[in-house]
Amino acid sequence: MRSKKDILNIKQTLIDTFKDAKSELKFKNHYELIVAVMLSAQCTDKRVNLITPALFSEYPDVFAMANANLASVKMLINSCSFFNNKAENLIKMAKAVVADFNGVVPLDEASLKSLAGVGQKTAHVVMLEAVGANVMAVDTHVFRVSHRLGLSRAKTPEATEVDLVAAFKTELGKLHQAMVLFGRYTCKATKPLCKECVLAGLCKSKDKIV
């Protein structure tokens, strides 16, 4: 694991470099946010943004989605990975929001995780996007960056999240956004742009290209 000094340097560099970082998912309200985040699981934000305009046009709010036709939802999102399960979960999620939360998407972790298709990562992304919650969400980019930078050796996203929370403690939402963009465009899975990397001096990864 990294020293406290290294962790602070990594944290500050990420925050300074990506100070305006925000999700690349497009949404206008909390309903659109949770739908977009649910669709983004194992699917690119770019693909989700191509799917959601027609979906939101047909089902503009949680009440419409709660009464949606399953076949119609499947058709609208069929270019998304695991669209069959996601379509079912979107409708179940909306029904629960209507029945249990008076049609208002909840923004606390326990309530969010009670919804179909919403695990810890999805709940945390919704929370940090909606209210700036001090939570970390570990997707494939954050997982890769964390391990390359020696911030975690954990085998699962959940355990990696624990390591990151312990290391960074504060500004976790900002760091999530920064690490997503950093992993997506610089610290890529293949052919990382090490010569352009702001953290090159702190990176000891075996994947480092010198």
Among 11, 121, 163, 174, the active-site one is 121
Q: Is 13 exposed, middle or buried (0-12, 13-18, 19+ CB in 10 A)?
A: middle
Among 11, 95, 139, 163, the active-site one is 139
Per-residue exposure over 47-79, b if at least 16 CB sit within 10 Å of its own CB, e if not: ebbebbeebbeebeebeebbebeeeebbebbee
Q: Is 206 a catalytic residue?
A: no
**How far is the C-alpha of 133 from the C-alpha of 151, rounded, in Å?**
21
User: Could you tell me which residues come within 8 angstroms of residue 76 by beta carbon, excluding any fewer than 6 positions away?
Assistant: 51, 54, 55, 58
Q: Is 139 a catalytic residue?
A: yes
Active site residues: 121, 139
